Amino acid sequence: MKEKNIVFKGTKEGIWIIVNESYPLSQIYEEIDKAIGEAQYFFNGAQVIFDVGDRDLDKTELDNIKEIIVERYHLELIRVEGREWQWKYCPASHDLWEKESKNKLKKDNITGKKDMNNNHYIQNGANALLIKRTIRSGQRVEFDGNVIILGDVNPGSEIIAGGDIIVMGTLRGIAHAGAKGNDNAVVTAFYLKPMQLRIAQYITRAPDGEMQQIVEPEIARVKDGTIMIEKYIPNRDSYGS
Amino acid sequence: MGEVIVITSGKGGVGKTTTTANLGTGLAINGKKVVLIDADIGLRNLDLVMGLENRIVYDLVDVVEENCRLRQALIKDKRFDNLYLLPAAQTRDKDAVSPDQMKKLCVELKKDFDYILIDCPAGIEQGFKNAISGADWAVIVTTPEVSAVRDADRIIGLLEAAEIRNPKLVVNRIKLNLVAQKDMMNINDMIDILAIELLGVVPDDEKIVISTNRGEPAILDEISLSSKSYKNIVRRILGEDVPLMPMEAETTFFGKLKKLIGLGS
């Protein structure tokens, strides 16, 4: 698969512009300029988070980013985000940029299989993808945050989420919650009959032969190093606690 | 050094996957080290027929893209320790793999396995080209229908062009009573047209549907007619000279009665 040098991603916070880590910054300005220029309506007045991945930036580089995003296209630059640092433009400060160290939240992708192709970690609950249809064999949903499906997940399909997976229907395919190493992630479904369940680096599969017929919502989570499936109890299992 | 056999047909639904599963299991019963490769990327089925769907973590595409080692992607069969499956990816398409990559993979597997069976997708496009690229010889599966035979003929031509010589024919799903009534294509007619060696004939058998849905290859069933046919084919692949099973079936009540009382027909 060819990796793109720049990826745009719409989030609640604004538009993330994610720059491939291995691509030199000096070459990226022109490309970003072109990309924004081509889609000015999309970006019109947008709030932008510029993600540079595992890099440390100096003032000139930050100024260059600001030059394109703020001065040329009149977008609002919320912050420049790296893996370990984030910078906010702040005219009051001494050198115009305020540099903050981030908590190192990101864990390495332990399973090592799926490269999620981005370099920032979104906390549980920060972001969700809502899909109102049935996911069929051969279809694959991959998302950083939580994934909610209003429909079924059929065998032969895959849902891969950085956070939790909630299926308002029957889950019969493969679900991978906490795909970037978050073993607090859970998988919940009205009818939980997955081919295979993965949470962070843990993996379990459906038993061979006849399965117990359970017709109530269930929740899967990691307990003592294995994936446990239990009846979903609304108060106990509610989120945000 | 192992042998790479591609199971192909051109036409869809004639029983390539079922044949692959049964022959692979049969070879494993005979103590051979076997790996089945599902080359039908995007429409994989072999894992279902083998009853191994819930064990898939890595697949063929992961192997060629080097997301994992070959060993990690091979799924050991539930019943036989010397039988493995390399599943296809379901969320990708045929272009995810190239003939050169398949060839390389076959060379790699030949070192460790006696038989490598490749379940070819229907059609003559990219998927077919991938599936045959590493093959030493081919099993052509066809049913006694003009359309299936026509497609088989086309496939044999393409295999010749790809310099895969000596394909062998499996006639699948023959309905014994229809042949007896002369309402179905005769096996001899089919061999006349295709002009290749006959490897075996498998009767139409309801048990196949049951075993497919259960994920247990029919060859494991001791008594069924289809199981016997598959076992004979396996022995022929292993180099034994096995005569064809008598495939006549009495169609009328009187015919059965005559046979019963020893008058013959």
CB A165 within 8 A of CB A151: no
Show residues of chain B in contact with A116, CB under 8 Å: none
Percentage above 70 pLDDT, chain B: 93
Boundaries of domain holding A62: 6-101
Q: Is residue A59 part of a domain?
A: yes
Across the interface, of B44, B57, B78, the residue whose CB is closest to A208 is: B78
| Model pLDDT for residues B53-93, shown as the tens digit of each residue | 999 999 999 999 999 999 999 999 999 999 999 999 999 99
Q: Do B57 and A195 touch (CB under 8 A)?
A: no
B43 at A interface, C-beta within 8 A: yes
Q: What is the DSSP string of B43-79?
A: S--HHHHTT-GGG-SS-HHHHHTTSS-HHHHPEEPSS
Query: Which whole number is the average pLDDT over B202-230?
Result: 91
pLDDT band for B258, please (50, 70, 90 cuts). Answer: low
Q: Are residues A87 and A47 in the same domain?
A: yes
Answer yes or no: is pLDDT of B253 > 70.
Answer: no
Q: Are strands A202-205 and A196-199 parallel, antiparallel or unpaired?
A: antiparallel
Please tell me which of the candidates A137, A203, A208 has its beta carbon nearest to residue B90. Answer: A137
Average pLDDT, chain B: 91
Q: What are phi and psi of B200, to 5 degrees?
A: 170, 165
Give domain status of residue A110, yes or no: no
Contacts with B91 from chain A: Cβ below 8 Å: 138-140, 157-158
Co-location of A93 and A143 in the same domain: no
* A132, A230: one domain: yes
Q: Rounded distance, CA A89 to CA A77, Å?
A: 8
Interchain CB distance below 8 Å, A196 and B57: yes
Residues A92 and A141 in one domain: no
The reply to whether residue B54 touches residue A137, judged by beta carbons under 8 angstroms, is no
- Strand runs labelled E in chain B: 3-8, 34-38, 75-76, 83-86, 115-119, 137-142, 168-174, 197-203
Backbone angles phi, psi at B50, to 5 degrees: -85, -10
Spatial contact of B136 and B28, defined as CB atoms under 8 Å apart? no
Alpha-carbon distance of A127 to A104, in angstroms, equals 19
DSSP code string of A130-172: EE-SPBPTT-EEEESSEEEESS-B-TT-EEEESS-EEEEEEE-
Task: Note whether A113 contacts B57, CB cutoff 8 Å.
Answer: yes
Q: Does B98 touch chain A (CB under 8 A)?
A: no
Contacts with B44 from chain A: Cβ below 8 Å: 156
User: Do B54 and A208 lie within an 8 Å CB cutoff?
Assistant: yes
The domain that holds A54 is classified in CATH as 3.30.750
Q: Is residue A117 part of a domain?
A: no
Helix and strand numbers (H, E) in chain A are 4, 17
Contact B54 A156 (CB under 8 A): no
Q: Is residue A132 part of a domain?
A: yes
Rg (CA), chain A: 21
State residue B261's pLDDT score: 65
pLDDT in tens, B129-168: 999 999 999 999 999 999 999 999 999 999 999 999 889 9
* Tokens linked to A51: 């993600």
Q: Extract the tokens encoding B73.
A: 């992607």
Instruction: Report DSSP state, residue B211.
Output: H
Which of the pair, B224 or B98, is modelled with greater confidence?
B98
Query: Which residues of chain A have a pLDDT value below 50?
Result: 1, 104-125, 240-241
Angstrom distance (rounded) from CA B245 to CA A7: 63
Read off the tokens for B43: 């429409």
In angstroms, the Cα distances linking B176 to A115, B5, B184, B201 are 54, 28, 9, 11
Q: How many CB atoms are located within 10 Å of the residue B111 CB?
A: 8
Phi-psi region of A224 (alpha: psi -120 to 50; beta: other; left: phi over 0): left
* Residue predicted with more confidence, B261 or A184: A184
Encode pLDDT of B177-201 as tens digits: 887 787 788 888 899 889 999 999 9
Which pair of tokens denotes residue B126?
A: 């990219």
Residues A80, A31: one domain? yes
Q: In terms of CA atoms, which chain A residue is nearest residue B62?
A: A113
A107: in domain: no
Domains of chain A: total? 2
Residue where a domain terminates, one of A101, A120, A151: A101
Here the tokens at position A77 are 């630059």
From the CA atom positions of chain B, what is the Rg in Å? Answer: 19
The pLDDT, as a whole number, for residue A29 is 79
The minimum CA-CA distance between B228 and chain A, rounded to whole Å, is: 26
Q: Please indicate, yes or no, if residue A114 is contained in any of the structural domains.
A: no
The whole-number pLDDT of residue B60 equals 97
ipTM entry: 0.73
pLDDT score of B45 more than 70: yes
Residue A231 sits in the same domain as residue A146: yes
Residue A137 and residue A231 in one domain: yes
Superfamily of domain B3-260: P-loop containing nucleotide triphosphate hydrolases (3.40.50.300)
Count of A-B CB contacts under 8 Å: 32
Looking at beta carbons, which pairs linking A168-177 to residues 24 or more positions away fall under 8 Å?
A169/A134, A173/A135, A173/A137, A174/A198, A176/A111, A176/A114, A177/A220
